[in-house]
Amino acid sequence: MADKILDRQIEQLDEAFHHLWHALFLNRPDMKSDKLRGLSFIDMHVIRLASENPDIILREIRQHLKIPQTTLSSIVAKLEKYGLVRRVINPRDLRSFSLKITPAGRKIFAEHKRIDTMQAKEALLALEKGERDVFIGLVRKAANRLKVIK
């Protein structure tokens, strides 16, 4: 019985996520950016970590994202190729590298942040004022329990 309830809930949440995704992304030119084309969620997260933590070393980025070294190396190579980051010696640990965000990388990060903010605002405005904190709390609770990227 409990498995059938969970299965139904999974279907309902999957449908709700797809409807939310469709409402926020598909056929919404204001929620898209040609500047971000070709960059994945994980690419943007690397840029975000490096932007918000200029002293972070590559090993710490890898540990934070829970990805293999080879994956991070591929991401960094791609971001360097696009001219969004540069590897630099970390001043805190001269044996390690950090990522320096280039002016183009800062523009990409700002564009990504702009779209994220628009999407969050639209999702929250679809709820009543009293529901917003509950929604945020539940999403945050699920993310924390899953121990996903912080």
Q: Are residues 27 and 91 in the same domain?
A: no
Which residue pairs from 77-85 have beta carbons closer than 8 angstroms and sit at least 24 positions apart in sequence?
A: 78/43, 79/43, 79/46, 79/47, 79/105, 82/38, 82/39, 84/47, 84/108, 85/46, 85/47, 85/50
Alpha carbon dihedral 8, 10, 11, 16, in 10-degree steps, equals 120
pLDDT tens digit at each of 150 positions of the chain: 668 888 888 899 889 888 887 777 766 666 566 666 778 889 999 999 999 998 899 999 999 998 999 999 999 999 999 999 999 998 888 888 999 999 999 998 998 898 888 889 988 999 999 999 999 999 999 888 887 554
- For residue 18, the enclosing domain spans 1-32
Q: Are residues 103 and 62 in the same domain?
A: yes
Reported pTM: 0.76
Q: Are residues 25 and 82 in the same domain?
A: no
- The rounded distance, in Å, linking the Cα atoms of 24 and 70 is 33
Q: Are residues 26 and 50 in the same domain?
A: no
- The rounded distance, in Å, linking the Cα atoms of 69 and 61 is 10
